[in-house]
A and B are shown apart, each in its own frame.
Chain A
Amino acid sequence: MTKSAYRNNLFLTGVVLVLLFFLQFVLPDYHVLMGTRMMVLAVFALGFNALLGYVGLLSLGHAMFFAAGLYGAGLTVYHFGWSLPAAFGFAVLASALLALVIGAVVLRTIRVSFMIVTLMFAQVAYLMVLYFAEWTNGQEGLSLPLSARAVHLFGATLDLSSAITRYNLAFGLLALCLMLLFAYLASARGRVATAIRDNEGRTEMLGFNVFAGKLEMFVLSGAMSGAAGAAYALLFGYIGSTFASFQYSIEALLFTLLGGAGTLLGPLLGVLLMVAMIDKLSELTSAYLLVIGVVLIVVILWFPKGILGTIRERWAPWLL
């Protein structure tokens, strides 16, 4: 990346973050809540995009990592009464570890077979949630106890029933993940990842360890998705098997494709548009998931590069 491109991207990301931060002062309550949800889901999509956009691996099973974070955090809080920061840390570690194990297995496959295998592993994870209903309460799920609605950290207490606190926590996580990904992509290791995406054979011939590069991104992606799941569980105080279902894997894909796979801010844009659209539609009809199907097909037929991908192609080649 050239210096000016680096500066442009840094500036754009900064502007978006500042805008997001100040939105909390102007938005009405309901939209603050929705914004919180969007930012948590954006972290999920960011993790998904790390894999699809920068090493070119399309996973159909990322709900598995979201759910690993969700249950990793939720179950330790619910059953063992862990403090929220400990539960969050554990959940991120657990999903990174899961990604390491699953990645070591599924990265032996490529393309279509990679998609099907990740889908199947995610299905196994979903069925596990249902099977261990004694712990997870299956479909119905669990509401976290009232004691888990406050964070005690360094003598300070954060009240999670306050919408503004939740908004800022979600914002913090999103900002952290965006900056982490930005730094990673601008580094030499990030360049290896994109080299794998663009030409795997050539990268290998140049002496880079392709498998290790993929696995590294897979773990990063899984950990980020897990962090999103953990944040979702702790911020909204509810865990349920829906979050492990196929639909959540597809939503991550949808957000990313719509916004633009392989663009840093694409997933965030995709989430904003889709969640707003789904929210509006769900007031009109119970069949609001129809929009998922329509958008998927429209994007894949006419905008395979997504919104920001198309903008990059036409007007802003520096976009990361």
Chain B
Amino acid sequence: MALGPYLFLATLEGLVQAAVLCITAAGLSLVFGVMRVVNVAHGEFVMLGAVIAWFAASLVTGHPAIGFAVALVISPVIVGAIAFASERLILKRLDYNPEATIVATIGLLYILQQTVLIVYGPDARPVDPPFYYTIRFPWFGYSSYKLFVIAAAIVIMGAIWFVLQKTKAGLIMRAAQFDRETAQAFGIPVDRVSAFVFAAGAGLAALAGVLVVPIQQAHYLMGADPLLLSFIVVIIGGLGSMSGTVVAAILIGLSDGILSVMFSPTLAKMVSTLLVALVLVFRPNGLFGKAAR
């Protein structure tokens, strides 16, 4: 394949990667923005979403699209409920202390991951995409499902924007993010808002998991990469800023996709992680600097 088409393929792969990353990182960013909680278990919510999608696909008979549609609905709901419960049982009791919540979410990470290992087993299992149609470019065929993922991400990000900017719930979330105490003083139940935001963030991660599973297979250790990448995106994108998150996700997804095709994926991850760590060190009043009051 000539360089041009090769680059085109790499760009497409990068866009798919960016689309999934956008949704995952939006969840992380929402939780960090409103609750000031760094959720290390976020990747496990992606994994849970994917695993639930596999269960849905294997339980629902008939066309794969039916199982997929079911998974799209129940996955975020179940994962959101799990997140809601863990927020009430754990994070709330820690009074959202930043360091303690990190340790607690690490604990949550292991509990979720190992429970899935017990229930689901150590194998990576594929899920059929809802449709198989292949788009023929002059140089290669490309799965239309992957293009669907990009479209779905655009729709979901649009929905997030709409909810945050145009609805009462969004207004409440933004108020809680802007100033917790003042919001509380104005009668906003910040405490309950936190629980719902944590559930919503997890739900978004689960949605990303469902979307990615026909491409990637469901495995109990699959949460590590989305976690690291969404950390990177949220740090580059800036505190709780959705537009920043989108831009950063596209940037990181594209460069990661292209670098992974051109060089080794390990090298790509190494370089981007190092760069982001340095960004965080030398711009300390960026994202996390504000959190550490």
Contacts and interface: CB of A to CB of B under 8 A. Distances in A.
A116 B99 CA distance: 11
Nearest to A292: B110
A142 interface: no
Given A110-B292, A111-B98, A293 B270 contact: no
A55 to B, nearest CB: 14
A60 B103 CA distance: 10
A116 B231 contact: yes
Interface in A214-258: 246, 250, 253, 257
A106 B281 contact: yes
Contacts of A293: 106-114
B288 A113 contact: yes
Interface string A268-304: 0000000000000000011111101111110011001
A213 to B, nearest CB: 19
Contacts of A124: 270, 273-274, 277
B90 interface: yes
Nearest to A298: B107
A250 B99 CA distance: 14
B100 interface: yes
Given A113-B289, A120-B276, A124-B270, A287 B103 contact: no
Contacts of B158: none
A253 B235 CA distance: 24
How many B residues touch the partner, as a band? 35 or more
B273 to A, nearest CB: 5
A121 to B, nearest CB: 6
Q: Is the interface of B mostly helix, strand, loop or mixed?
A: helix
Contact of A289 (B93, B110, B264): B110
B264 to A, nearest CB: 7
Interface stretch (B49-57, B72-80, B115-123, B126-134): B115-123
Nearest to A132: B266
A293 B44 CA distance: 13
A60 to B, nearest CB: 8
Interface string A29-73: 000000000000000000000000000001010000000000000
Given A124-B270, A289-B114, A293-B114, A301 B102 contact: no
B281 A117 contact: yes
Contacts of B224: 246
B237 to A, nearest CB: 14
Nearest to A128: B270
A302 B100 CA distance: 12
Contacts of A106: 281
A304 B93 CA distance: 12
Contacts of A253: 103, 106
A300 B269 contact: no
B99 A112 contact: yes
Contacts of B292: 110-113
B141 interface: no
Given A112-B288, A112-B291, A112-B292, A127 B281 contact: no
Nearest to B267: A131
Contact of B100 (A110, A113, A294, A304): A304
Given A112-B102, A301-B90, A117 B270 contact: no
B94 A300 contact: yes
Contacts of A116: 38, 231, 235, 280, 288
A76 interface: no
A108 interface: yes
B107 A292 contact: yes
Interface in B262-287: 264, 266-267, 269-270, 273-274, 276-278, 280-282, 284, 287
A33 to B, nearest CB: 25
Interface centre among A124, A128, A293, A296 (most CB of B within 10 A): A293
A115 interface: yes
B247 interface: no
A162 interface: no
Nearest to B117: A287
Contact of B118 (A115, A287, A292): A287
Interface of B: 38, 90, 93-94, 98-100, 102-104, 106-115, 117-118, 122, 224, 228, 231, 235, 264, 266-267, 269-270, 273-274, 276-278, 280-282, 284, 287-289, 291-292
22 contacts: A58-B99, A108-B284, A112-B38, A112-B102, A113-B280, A113-B287, A115-B38, A116-B280, A116-B288, A120-B277, A121-B274, A250-B106, A250-B110, A287-B117, A290-B114, A292-B107, A292-B110, A293-B108, A293-B114, A294-B110, A296-B104, A297-B107
Given A113-B288, A115-B102, A297-B111, 6 more contacts: A116-B235, A120-B274, A124-B277, A296-B103, A297-B108, A301-B104
The 9 A-B pairs with the shortest beta carbon distances in the complex, nearest first, are A293-B110, A296-B107, A293-B111, A113-B288, A290-B114, A297-B107, A120-B277, A287-B114, A111-B292
